[in-house]
């Protein structure tokens, strides 16, 4: 099992498989622009076989969980193949984050290929507000969530980024989703709005702190009991009285969780980022495409692990920002 310089066990890898995305979520992109065509040349994008080699090297070092991200991973035509080859290298838990716009037509095939579960980004329950925030169609996302439930990609986790003055009034409505009596209950995760370089709407005042989210849920929906912490993820979990589903609070700005960070991120071109807020990292893509063997890939992973900082830059620098969210999948 691999450990970083601060004794943290690294067993989770996030792999961006494309920098393309059909939406333009206001909290994700720099400059408010879209990224439908992506910025990377096609020859730089990792192939399914190269992604499988990265996953195999990571598993050999002790990685147990892999999450596929983007951009929007469902834009890859070979996504079922990618899922299948990753699952066959020994990954115990394979998940995917999506905006859900294409999920309704793909959920069954993704489950059959070996995908275990999905997270769906959903930031409004009102069609007009959803379109304003993302450029997408709410009904498609909701149909995708339902299709994922039917396919067994559970538990379904719904990611919501509350932004003050834009969609924060919907916090209670999202919390109530966990009260629905379903065969596969919804788990709703509230993620603090994070700074992205060049994002025109970012300011600290727009971030709704996790403690405020919890207070509003308890005031307007019902008492929420803290659940015992399991695993090493960033979410603090709660259950409203009588709810089958769970509320998760992810609070990178107000309740740092770096001390238990267990992850690395790989971009769609094979650049390993040890920390979301760090611009440093290791280029694995070039050696991989030049014929590097598995020992060399393992060496590059170990170098990236050694580069992991003790904490996010934002812990000490209030002006620190993520250089790109859409290209690394959060």
Domains of the chain, earliest start first? 12-315 (3.20.20.70)
* Cα angle, residue 103 at apex, residues 122 and 109 outer, rounded to 5°: 150
Q: What pLDDT is recorded for position 143?
A: 98
Closest CA to 14 of 76, 52, 65: 65
- CB neighbours of residue 322 within 10 Å: 25
Decide if pLDDT at 32 tops 60.
no
Number of helices (H) and strands (E) in the chain: give both, helices first. Answer: 9, 12
Q: Which two tokens stand for residue 62?
A: 């002790």
Task: Point out the least confidently predicted range of 4-13, 231-240, 281-290.
Answer: 231-240
Half-sphere exposure of 173 (CA within 13 A, CB side): 11
d(CA 108, CA 253): 36
Q: What pLDDT is recorded for position 319?
A: 54
2, 61 Cβ separation under 8 angstroms: yes
- CB neighbours of residue 158 within 10 Å: 23
Q: What pLDDT is recorded for position 56?
A: 96
Closest CA to 118 of 70, 182, 55: 70
Of these ranges, 139-153, 218-232, 305-319, the one predicted with the greatest mean pLDDT is 139-153
138, 127 Cβ separation under 8 angstroms: yes
pTM (2 d.p.): 0.93
């Amino acid at each position: 099992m691999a450990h970083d310089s601060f004794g943290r066990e690294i067993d989770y890898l996030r792999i961006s498989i494309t920098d393309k995305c059909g939406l333009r979520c206001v909290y994700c992109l720099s400059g408010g622009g879209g990224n439908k065509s992506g910025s990377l040349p096609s020859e730089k994008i990792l192939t399914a076989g190269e992604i499988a080699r990265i996953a195999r090297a990571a598993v050999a070092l002790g990685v147990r969980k892999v999450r596929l991200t983007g951009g929007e991973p469902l834009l890859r035509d070979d996504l079922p193949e990618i899922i299948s080859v990753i699952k066959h290298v020994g990954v115990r838990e394979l998940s995917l984050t999506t905006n859900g716009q294409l999920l309704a037509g793909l959920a069954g095939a993704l489950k059959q290929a070996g995908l275990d579960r999905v997270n769906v980004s959903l930031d409004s329950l009102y069609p007009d507000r959803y379109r304003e925030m993302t450029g997408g169609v709410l009904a498609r996302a909701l149909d995708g969530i339902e299709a994922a439930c039917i396919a067994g990609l559970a538990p379904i986790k719904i990611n919501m980024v509350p932004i003050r003055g834009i969609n924060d009034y919907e916090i209670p409505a999202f919390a109530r989703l966990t009260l629905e009596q379903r065969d596969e209950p919804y788990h709703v995760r509230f993620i603090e709005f994070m700074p992205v370089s060049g994002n025109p709407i970012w300011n600290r005042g727009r971030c709704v702190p996790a403690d405020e989210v919890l207070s509003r849920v308890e005031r307007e929906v019902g008492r929420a009991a803290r659940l015992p912490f399991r695993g090493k993820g960033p979410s603090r979990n709660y259950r409203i009285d009588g709810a089958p589903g769970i509320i998760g609070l992810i609070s990178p700005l107000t309740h740092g969780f770096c001390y238990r960070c267990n992850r690395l991120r790989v971009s769609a071109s094979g650049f390993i980022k040890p920390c979301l807020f760090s611009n440093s990292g290791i280029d694995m893509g070039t050696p991989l495409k030049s014929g590097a063997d598995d020992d060399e890939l393992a060496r590059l992973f170990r170098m990236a692990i050694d580069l992991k900082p003790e904490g996010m830059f934002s812990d000490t620098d209030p002006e620190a920002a993520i250089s790109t969210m859409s290209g690394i999948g959060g």
